[in-house]
């Protein structure tokens, strides 16, 4: 398993964009746009989260989402999978993408009083 190296590319580039408050440049880059098109095509524009619900729902995905956030793993910015083979880029519908970023995680144990 490869170890995270903040001095590798694209980690250096992404960390520099984050430090300069210009992460938007990553999402408008030629590299990201190309990979985004590939992921949307590979995943057939189906929302990952909706497809894994019970029962499964077939919803059109419009956004490619980093499972491991860029700020935590900038080295995986342009990787569909992580070093262990786990998916890192998933196609999501607008609703599921919003949920991934804004929905609070449910408490591990419910409060009893």
What is the overall mean pLDDT for the chain?
A: 92
Burial of 75: CB neighbours in 10 Å, binned 0-12, 13-18, 19+: buried
**pLDDT at residue 85 is higher than 70:** yes
Q: How crowded is the C-beta side of 46, counted as CA atoms within 13 Å?
A: 11
If pLDDT is split at 50, 70 and 90, which confidence band does 6 have? confident
Convert the pLDDT of each residue in 89-110 to its tens digit: 999 999 999 999 998 666 666 6
- List the one residue out of 42, 83, 49 whose CA is nearest residue 65: 49
Q: Distance from first CA to last CA of the chain, Å, rounded?
A: 45
Report the run of H or E that residue 91 belongs to, with start and end: strand 89-92
Convert the pLDDT of each residue in 21-76 to its tens digit: 999 999 999 999 999 999 999 999 999 999 999 899 999 999 999 999 999 999 99
């Amino acid at each position: 398993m490869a170890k995270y190296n903040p001095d590798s590319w694209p980690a250096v580039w992404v960390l520099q964009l984050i430090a300069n408050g210009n992460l938007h440049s990553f999402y408008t880059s030629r590299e990201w746009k190309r990979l985004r098109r590939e992921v949307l095509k590979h995943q057939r524009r189906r929302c990952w989260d909706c497809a894994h619900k019970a029962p499964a729902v077939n919803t059109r995905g419009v956004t490619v989402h980093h499972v491991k956030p860029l700020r935590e793993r900038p080295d995986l910015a342009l990787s569909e999978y992580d070093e262990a083979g786990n998916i890192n880029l998933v196609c999501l519908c607008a609703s599921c993408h919003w949920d991934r970023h804004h929905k609070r995680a449910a408490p591990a144990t419910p409060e009893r009083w």
